Structure 1
Amino acid sequence: MTRTPDGLCHALIDAARKAGAEAADAMVAEGSSLSIEVRQGALEHAERSEGIDLGLRVFVGQRQACVSASDLRPETLQAMAERAVAMAREAPEDPYAGLADPSQLACDWNLSALELFDSSDEPAPAVLQADALAAETAGLAVSGVNQVQSAAAGYGSHKVHMAATNGFSGGYQRSSRSISCTAIAGSGTGMERDYDGDSRTFQSDLRSADEIGQQAGMRAIERLGARKPETGSYPVLFDERVSSSLIGHLLAAVNGSSIARGSSWLKDAMGEQILPDHLSVVEDPFRPRIAGSRPFDGEGLPTQQRAIISEGVLTGWTLDLASARKLNMQSTGNAARGVGSVPSPSQWNIALTQGTDSRADLISGMGTGLLVTSMIGSTINPNTGDYSRGAAGFWVENGEIVYPVNECTIAGNLRDMLRSIIPANDARTHLSRVVPSLLVEGMTLAGN
């Protein structure tokens, strides 16, 4: 028996049919990863992993069950199929479960245009260690940095293949390359830390280790002497490093699973103004060299470019087959899944319309307020959109940064916050979520 992902998928489906499944789909994920971490100029940790995971989902009528394994022996595949069918026969009926109709399936795609895999040679451990050491050295070279908590470099390569009894069969391969650094400045209770990092599909796109280490060090130094801000209502500027979390809360609220359960603060907002009328949120799964790109979803349906928010107006939910059936709608090709789980809705690459002003322009015009560069914890009410998070960053007075800030809480309501956001023009376009710095007027700050 072939052990390619394609061959294993079809072997699992054949075993499921023999075990009594009326329909089935299979997923095989094969990959390897290598990570190197250094500390004080020496190797701190090295880890390499290789493996292959098998997943099988079977249907008996409207009952379904999933099983997974990492053993490729034929007897294991047979046992997986028999166990899955036995589990499905005992599972409760789900009127919305089932594979896609063959007419819905993706049947033609251009993987080369997506550039998901860097075919250059896998970097040797010594190359990754050199990158990590370079980042650490650059971080330590920043005046005032006491130590580098960690500096790391990594590489990964992964293959995924899916097949189903409805006729679908397809797969792709991904690669990733990363460098990161976390620097520490100050001492005792005045100690501060910050980080920088980069992760790309292609090695040639990766920022230099020197730049990453230096940026981590400079960010740590800038945070020294942090204090609590005054309590009150102020404008808050979410730095580009954290602003995507606001759009993330919006995306969670339009997820089809939440909508079908009635547990979303946007459940009745279809067709309503959610953002300012000059802003849109567009999903594009076809961007080359981007982590969220893919030719088909976890149920074999073609992915598509679509506007989730068009000129400020909510135009659609994010749906897989099950949530679409519950809502009497069509899937948007947004099913995500793992080898041991059923599909669920998820967004791919997202971009928010950028503004015309720079981050510096927004700071200059905000008067007195808070620039947020990091956040911890969160309390988000999924039914009302009430928002509260711990934050740190910089206090702004008369349009200028005057001192670093920590140990404060920012609060508001996501409906009100999103309706008034003002975007900068500083989004990093190589990320899967392209979101610039965002200014929100009149949030509540709890500090001193």
Structure 2
Amino acid sequence: MTQTPETLCHALIDAARKAGADAADAMAAAGSSLSIEVREGRLEHAERSEGTDLGLRVFLGQRQALVSSSDSRPETIAAMAERAVAMAREAPEDPYTGLAAPDQLAQNWDLAALDLNDPTADPAPAALQEDALAAEAACQAIDGISQVQSAGAGYGRSSVYLATSNGFSGGYTRTGRSISCTGIAGTGTGMERDYDGDSRTYQSDLRSAEEIGRSAGERTVARMNARRPKTGTYPVLFDERISASLIGHLLSAVNGAAIARGSSWLQDSLGQQVLPTHLSVIEDPHRPRIAGSRPFDGEGLATRRRAIVEDGTLTGWTLDLASARKLGMESTANAARGIGSVPSPSNWNVALTQGDQSRADLIAGMGTGLLVTSLIGSTINPNTGDYSRGASGFWVENGAIAYPVNECTIAGNLRDMLMRIVPANDARSYLSRVVPSLLVEGMTLAGN
């Protein structure tokens, strides 16, 4: 009989105790996925996968070790526990490692409110292929598209379970459905490509394949005949598709692991202003039907809504148990982990305060500058916040888009950039990171 992730976790804990572990936690993840890709109206690639993966972490005093396997036979579980305990005996002591205290563990949660599992039947391969073909056809129909590089659709269902030797036991199931398309226009050195895609928890929330394919084609054609802009200092508008990367750099800088290492450009900024005073960054892991939602973190602590930045002021770090102990603080229940990795701090669903202007309004008011729709490469100094990235997009003159541009570099300092951001009101509320288009005044642009 097939064992559930719950029974597998408890079997791992029992085996760890029998092997001599002082404490242990276990994770089990079971899932299935199906992906379809088409090309030129025919099936190009189909892949289906199913599996169960197990992870066991054991503690001997202040020593820890972790092992993982995809084999769930009883003899393998016993061998995993024995191996983990043997490894822990040889590991160096870590004064910050260990399970959460029993009174820190999540006790009750409402999975139904999170709505992470689409109860409708798993889509058939033919349904996914139909979506991929529709997206490809819609993209190919756009005048100027020379070919569709890829069009695909996918579905996945995964269940994860976590148990600890000191009383925590819980799990949840989530689903995901996606469609994507990438178009190509032009040839040789004049070739351009762009994409569109959508991924949702519920099939019924997904944008239509035709809309995704058409958008991918239109975005691709709009990039044709790009040129390099002039070198200088200009306002730069980060399109909503890529603006979340700026907030991502902020989140990386307030990550407890970076703070504990002393390698963050926001190291001494707790309680200080890091954004304009009317802006906040809110983390909410309980938003229904959102990919980043979860009732508890990777160490069994109850997740909760919190302000990372409130009215422009940095209010706290993002912490798991180990980084919190290093800093003499309490965990913010932000431990993320994989089957084969120990917990580390990570953010869940994050939203930046939206503005009261549209992207078009910001373009109209920026005069001459750059609308960035794509970023490539990066040179980010984690200690100073110095920022430099390759960019492409559209040149703006007299408040209107004039022509596409590429092969340029934008540069600045993240601390200064984030203090000058002006948000639009175009963020997509169904994303895990809800960040609108962001205007940054006075960035250095290297082009011609």
Q: Same fold (TM over 0.5)?
A: yes
For residue 362 of structure 1, report the CA deviation from its aligned partner.
0.2
**Could you give the per-residue CA deviations for residues 97-128 of structure 1, whole angstroms, max 9, x where no partner exists?**
00000000001000000000101000000000
Q: What is the 5 A alignment of 1:158-173?
A: 158-173=158-173
Contact kept, 8 Å, 1:194 with 1:216, in 2: the verdict is yes
Query: Residue in 2 aligned with 1:182?
Result: 182
The aligned counterpart of 1:354 is 354
Q: 1:154-233 residue pairs with structure 2 within 5 A?
A: 154-233=154-233
Give 2:183's aligned amino acid: A
Q: Deviations over 1:233-254 (max 9, x none)?
A: 0000000000000000000000
Which deviations, in whole Å up to 9, do the C-alpha atoms of 1:178-235 show, x marking residues without a partner?
0000001112211111000000000000000000000000000100000100001000
Q: Displacement of 1:2 after TM fit?
A: 6.0
Alpha-carbon distance in 2 for matches of 1:76, 1:286: 36
Please tell me the residue identity of whatever aligns with 2:186: G
Q: Identify the residue that residue 299 of structure 1 maps to in structure 2.
A: 299
Residue of structure 1 in register with 2:370 after alignment? 370
Structure 2 alignment gaps of length 5 or more: none
Q: For residues 280 and 326 of structure 2, what CA distance do their matches in structure 1 show?
A: 27
Q: Distance in 1 between matches of 2:20 and 2:86?
A: 9
Is residue 66 of structure 1 aligned with residue 43 of structure 2?
no
Task: Give the Cα separation in 2 of the matches to 1:90 and 1:248.
Answer: 37
1:254-269 matches, cutoff 5 A: 254-269=254-269
Structure 1 residue ranges without an equivalent (≥5): none
The whole-number CA distance in structure 2 between the counterparts of 1:121 and 1:407 is: 46
How far the C-alpha of 1:390 sits from its partner, in A, is 0.4
Distance 2:433 2:184 in 1: 28
Partner of 1:115: 115
- SS of 2:225's partner is coil
Give runs of aligned pairs for residues 23-42 of structure 1, distance below 5 A: 23-42=23-42
- Aligned length in residues: 448
2:437 is aligned to 437
Question: 1:246 maps to what in 2?
Answer: 246
CA contact (8 A) 1:2 1:8 kept: no
For 2:379, what is the secondary structure of its paired residue?
A: strand
CA RMSD of aligned residues (A): 0.6
Q: Tell me the distance in 1 between the aligned counterparts of 2:95 and 2:183.
A: 53
Question: 1:351 Cα shift?
Answer: 0.2
TM-score (norm 2): 1.00
CA contact (8 A) 1:295 1:303 kept: yes
Shift of 1:166: 1.1
Matched to 2:121, the amino acid is D
Give distance in 2, aligned partners of 1:173 and 1:368.
Answer: 49
Length-normalised TM-score, structure 1: 1.00
Q: Does the Cα contact within 8 Å between 1:349 and 1:432 map onto a contact in 2?
A: yes
Spell out, residue by residue over 1:296-331, the C-alpha distance to the aligned partner (whole angstroms, 9 max, x if none): 000000001000000000000000000000000000
Q: Matches of 1:190 and 1:403 in 2, distance apart?
A: 15
1:357 Cα deviation from its structure 2 partner? 0.3
Deviation string, structure 1 residues 277-300 (Cα, Å, up to 9, x no partner): 000000000000000000000000
Within 5 Å, give how 1:272-287 maps onto structure 2.
272-287=272-287
- Looking at structure 2, the residues matched to 146 and 340 of structure 1 have their Cα atoms a distance apart, in angstroms, of 43
Structure 2 distance, partners of 1:190, 1:376, is 18
In 2, the alpha carbon distance for the partners of 1:259 and 1:72 equals: 38
Moved over 6 A (4+): none
Distance 1:51 1:122 in 2: 16
Question: In structure 2, what is the equivalent of residue 413 of structure 1?
Answer: 413
User: Structure 2: which amino acid aligns with 1:192?
Assistant: E
Instruction: State how far apart, in whole Å, the 1-side matches of 2:391 and 2:285 are.
Output: 32
Please say if residues 67 and 80 of structure 1, whose CA atoms lie closer than 8 Å, have aligned partners that are also in contact.
yes
Q: Which amino acid aligns with 1:286?
A: H
Contact 1:253–1:382 (Cα < 8 Å) also in 2: yes
Shift of residue 23 of structure 1? 0.1
Amino acid at match of 1:129: Q
